[in-house]
């Protein structure tokens, strides 16, 4: 096994894992605050990637322009989606609300995937950006990959700052811990849930643009991405950004190694295997050793 090839594969896995972690951040917020199992979460990424590739092909815009141009409409769509379809379920019982959210988001997954497939086609797309290549011995790194990795780090730090220090971030954490107590303190829990769902949708749209810059996307790949995001949340812990980042990188590296040294068709299955191993060793999530 060549050390240079191993380093190259690990770098690819690190980048893929960072994007997975971004996807998981949004889903973790939505589940932790709004208590919604959004099965369509990965579909938002897939459709965002498809739309971003179409916009890039039609306009030639830089991804720095495509990201806000796409994230803002997806944010608004997420807010309306929650307000119209998910918020009415809050008046139901807990079990009925959970089942209702699963059914609604699953239906949204099917409808959005099919509509996008009809309008944009089902073929794979990407954002073919030409980039300089840096050579470190026999290891080659694209400048675009460095920028994407840096963007993921910046977004992670901003999200952590927002949750820890911004007023709305503290309100979100209060709703997560005790919704009734947060309302007594003046927090509009219903609005906080809607905005959190919207923020999670906008964040996954950003991840969709980054994903399309490196890997091909198509409208039907959303469910597999949702499964990966749930795997990362279970491994890293709900609401644990550091744990999600570690779990995302572990999953990305494991998929890259499996795809390169074994077979690409087995890469999606490694997330399930990794999940089972972690659950046996850390039943409460990868970060449970710190709490213990």
pLDDT at 292: 42
Distance CA 246, CA 256 (A): 15
pLDDT at 289: 45
Domains recognised in the chain with CATH numbers: 3-285 (1.10.3470)
Quick: pLDDT tens for 182-191.
Answer: 777 777 778 8
Quick: pLDDT tens for 7-60.
Answer: 778 888 888 888 888 888 888 888 877 778 889 999 999 999 999 999 998 888
Residue with tokens 């744990």: 243
How is residue 166 written in tokens? 């911004």
Residue with tokens 């491994």: 235
Query: Which among 24, 44, 52, 23 has a CA at the least distance from the CA of 209?
Result: 52
Question: Looking at per-residue confidence, does 238 or 21 come out higher?
Answer: 21
Quick: pLDDT tens for 71-113.
Answer: 999 999 999 999 898 888 877 777 888 888 889 999 999 999 9
pLDDT at 170 over 60: yes
pLDDT at 290 over 80: no
pLDDT at 106: 92
Quick: pLDDT tens for 131-150.
Answer: 777 777 767 777 788 888 88
- 287 — pLDDT class (breaks 50, 70, 90): low
Residue with tokens 């901003």: 158
How is residue 35 written in tokens? 């208590």
Residue with tokens 């990201």: 67
Distance CA 123, CA 45 (A): 16
- SS3 of 54-119: HHHHHHCCCHHHHHHHHHHHHHHHHHHHHHHHHHHHHHCCHHHHHHHHHHHHHHHHHHHHHHHHHH
């Amino acid at each position: 096994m060549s050390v240079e090839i191993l380093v190259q594969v690990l770098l690819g896995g690190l980048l893929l894992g960072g994007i997975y972690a971004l996807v998981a951040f949004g889903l973790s917020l939505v589940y932790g605050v709004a208590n919604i199992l959004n099965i369509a979460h990965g579909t938002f990424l897939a459709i965002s990637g498809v739309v971003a590739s179409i916009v890039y092909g039609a306009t030639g815009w830089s991804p720095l322009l495509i990201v806000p141009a796409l994230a803002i409409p997806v944010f608004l769509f997420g807010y309306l989606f929650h307000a119209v379809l998910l918020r009415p379920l809050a008046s139901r019982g807990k079990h009925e609300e959970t089942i209702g959210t699963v059914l609604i988001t699953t239906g949204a997954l099917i409808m959005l995937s099919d509509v996008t497939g009809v309008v944009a086609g089902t073929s794979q797309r990407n954002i073919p950006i030409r980039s300089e290549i840096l050579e470190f011995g026999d290891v080659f790194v694209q400048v675009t990959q460095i920028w994407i990795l840096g963007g993921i780090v910046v977004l992670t730090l901003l999200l952590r700052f927002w949750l820890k220090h911004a007023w709305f971030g503290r309100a979100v954490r209060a709703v997560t811990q005790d919704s009734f107590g947060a309302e007594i303190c003046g927090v509009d829990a219903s609005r906080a849930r809607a905005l959190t769902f919207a923020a999670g949708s906008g964040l996954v749209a950003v991840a969709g643009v980054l994903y399309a810059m490196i890997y091909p996307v198509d409208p039907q790949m959303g469910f597999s991405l949702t499964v990966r995001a749930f795997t990362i949340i279970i491994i890293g812990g709900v609401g644990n950004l550091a744990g999600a980042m570690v779990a995302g990188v572990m999953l990305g590296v494991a998929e890259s190694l499996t795809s390169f040294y074994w077979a690409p068709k087995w890469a999606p299955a490694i997330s399930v295997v990794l999940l089972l191993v972690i659950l046996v060793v850390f039943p409460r999530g990868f970060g449970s050793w710190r709490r213990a």
